[in-house]
Structure 1
Amino acid sequence: MGVTPFAFFSGALFARKLCYVYLPPSYNESEDTRYPVVYLLHGLYGNETSWSVKGNAEQTIEKLMASGDLRESIVVMVSDGGYGHGTFYVNWFDGSGRFEDYFLYDLIPAIDREFRTIADTSHRALCGLSMGGYGSFVLALRNPHLFGSAASIAGALMSVSLMTEAFLRTDVCRMIGPVHGPYAQELDLHVLAARRVKEEVRPALHFNCGTADSLFPLNSTYQALLEQIGYPHEYMEFEGDHNWEYFGGHLPEALRFIERSFAGSAPKHTPAV
């Protein structure tokens, strides 16, 4: 059926918001069939059209479905909330906006009401690039009751312990507050993974990054952390830089992992390749 715009109201942001929804080919053939949902998150300076216009997401999705590498699914290309250069999909410490609440309590319920989704954890997944890679992981690790899997492509997989003084003088301090404070800890991917690994219910994680990417050190460091604490995951390294050629080119690896998660067969651990 292709991609269609879907408008809804966000009470968290008190604004009308828009996302783009891909409906699989068989969607109109039966009024009873329900589908898993993948939420695609854009990066810094992007918007809800980025994955479709710049990342050729629709063509990739259709190719993977045709080959059986991804079951027919609803794919939602979302906005991060549209504030500043990027919201990182979290509630900001300084009160600028409740962007996690918008995602969890406005966007997802609207999609589940309007479309025939399988509205449970094991059939709901996140996938994002760069800032959206962080958003994918932080939303999943903070809300394992909502998301069965999360994938990051060249993600900004941040920990406050890795932030420089110059970095903290940017909008990041408005998001996370005092770097040593409890609010910042709740948005730290290292802290969240260490917390979740002790629990029976935790999201399956996939991430990949180009070796020439400026964010590659963050990804390799996160890989080392997950290895150290024993968090099951899939990590891949490829040649490539921080650009759409890489993002769109390695969306298939992320979606194949999500398919295995839907099937209940995501690997307990896959070493770097």
Structure 2
Amino acid sequence: MIHWETTLVKTTRGNFEVFTKGEGEPICVTHLYSEFNETGDYFASTFTKTNQVYLVNLRETGNSARAQEPFQLSMIETIFDLEAIREALGYSKWGFAGHSTGGMLGIIYGIYYSKSLLFNILVGSAAREYATFSRECIYNSEHPKFNRMQELIETLKQPNLAKEERDRLTMERTKLSLYNPSKYEEYFSLSIKKKMSAIRMNYFNRELVIFDVTRKLHLITSPTFIACGKHDVQCPLSYSLELHEGIQNSKLSMFETSNHYPFLEEKELFLEEWNDFLNSI
């Protein structure tokens, strides 16, 4: 497997570790609390055949800048960091792609900086807190697998967890969000490894309880591709439908036999839908 090129981008807001791969128009990919490395990322790899992808380690992850104040871990501050990276790379505009909480970042990015975006890709995401009123969400206390998911998340936050145990628990956690868990090895067959940033996830959990930008969705003017698995247990389909209704210049693709990872579970169809969207803009 060809590893991603590693760069430390110097910005007005600190230095950020960025991994680059692919050719074409630039696209930024990140996730609110993942820590990436030179092995890349499954979601980001989806776009390397059509675009030059910049996979960003956010503040407090990898070799990126540390947070001097807790508020620097917030979603809006993270967007300020991404804008600084874009400017440092010399782009007047780039695309953005986010999966899950990465998509939540994309929503904030589109609301405040659509002028900086060629396009916006939001996969399995939501514009508001998605657990309290959604029994079909695995983060809702009434979901039958809620307790096990919470146990896995808290255990995976432990920094000294043995690699074998971390890999086993990560696989179990991921299987909870697959339409067909028996295909895990087929979907995740590459030597891609990433970590969870406990400090960023803990901050996100506090920010999430008051998160709701649904009334600002009309401010997103960049072309937006919204995708969601019909059986998504993390950010249920209803939230993607809400995004599509609120964002005027958007395309919605729903994947019948996918859970939270349609770009892997229905890879060929996802690529077809993505290319159709790209050609339309």
Pairing of 1:25-36 with structure 2 (within 5 A): 36=25
Partners of 1:19 and 1:241 in 2: how far apart? 29
2:88 aligned with 1:110? yes
- The Cα shift of 1:146 comes to 0.5
1:2 Cα deviation from its structure 2 partner: 7.6
Structure 1: stretches of 5+ with no match in the other structure: 25-34, 63-69, 85-90, 113-118, 267-273
TM-score under structure 1 length normalisation: 0.60
Aligned length: 205
Q: Which amino acid aligns with 1:211?
A: K
Q: Which of 98, 102, 106 is 1:128 aligned to?
A: 98
One-letter code aligned to 2:31: H
CA contact (8 A) 2:58 2:78 kept: yes
Match of residue 10 from structure 2: 9
Q: Name 1:223's counterpart in structure 2.
A: 241
Q: Contact 2:31–2:99 (CA<8 Å) still a contact in 1? A: yes
Gapped runs of 5+ residues in structure 2? 134-138, 141-201
Distance 1:136 1:230 in 2: 12
- Give the match for residue 164 of structure 1: 132
Q: CA RMSD in A?
A: 3.8
| Counterpart position of 1:214 | 233
Structure 1 residues 210-256: Cα deviation after superposition (integer angstroms, max 9, x where no partner): 12221342x423424643x5723111111122358349667625642
Pairwise CA distance, 1:78: 1.3
Contact 1:6/1:18 (<8 A) preserved:
yes
How many Å separate the matches in 2 of 1:258 and 1:55? 17
Deviations 1:123-166 (A, max 9, x none): x21111111111122212221111131012222x1315x56399
Q: Distance in 1 between matches of 2:37 and 2:106?
A: 15
- What percentage of aligned pairs have identical amino acids? 11
* SS of aligned partner of 1:20: strand
Could you say which residue in structure 2 is the equivalent of 1:65?
none
Change over 3 Å in CA distance of 1:257–1:109 after alignment to 2? farther
Q: Which amino acid aligns with 1:102?
A: D
**Would the aligned equivalents of 1:127 and 1:254 in 2 still touch at CA under 8 Å?**
no
- The one of 107, 112, 120 aligned to 1:150: 120
Structure 2 match to 1:75: 53
Residue 104 to residue 236, structure 1, CA distance change in 2 (3 Å)? same
Going from structure 1 to structure 2, the CA distance change for 1:251 and 1:225 (only over 3 Å counts) comes to closer
- Equivalent residues in 2 for 1:84-103 (5 A)? 95-97=71-73, 98-103=77-82
Q: Any residues of structure 2 matched to 1:155-194 within 5 Å, and which?
A: 155=125, 157-160=126-129, 164=132, 171-172=203-204, 174-175=206-207, 179=210, 188-194=212-218
Equivalent of 1:37, from 26, 29, 42? 26
Answer whether contact 1:207 1:254 (CA < 8 A) is retained: no
Distance 1:225 1:111, change over 3 A: closer
Tell me the SS of whatever aligns to 1:214: coil
CA contact (8 A) 2:223 2:249 kept: yes
What residue is the counterpart of 2:19 in the other structure? 20
Give the conservation status (yes or no) of the 8 Å contact 1:39–1:78: yes
